[in-house]
Amino acid sequence: MKEKHFELYISSVLEQMEKGPVSLNLVARIKAHPLYDTRPMVKELLESIIGLYLYYFFHCIVIINCRFLIFVLTSVVGILVKMYSMLLILLRKDLKFSEILLARYYVLYL
């Protein structure tokens, strides 16, 4: 009777997996079941659930890293453009007082 109940439980988990990711609490309950070690299908099921979570986890990390990399690159490019414009202002021969203040503002902003 316990085996039949466990098989029904596993089949319900498989149905939930088809709809979307299942909770990690469900994985813990399956591992705690006394029939867990006797069924190779259960181990395959758990491996596939954990594999899905790892896939989503690494997918999110890649997306976050790409956004962070784009942010860093745009920040570096922005800083280089500001430094270049500051150097152009400072290298001119006929500097006005307002341009010197502008160059100081760039230095403080960096």
Report pTM: 0.31
- φ and ψ of 94, to 5 deg: -95, 75
Q: How far is CA 57 from the centre of its chain?
A: 7
- Alpha-carbon span 106 to 98, nearest angstrom: 12
CA 18, 22, 26, 27 dihedral sign is: positive
pLDDT tens digit sequence for 58-107: 666 666 667 776 777 777 777 777 666 666 666 665 556 555 556 665 55
Q: How far apart are the first and last CA of the chain?
A: 72
pLDDT tens digit sequence for 89-98: 666 655 565 5
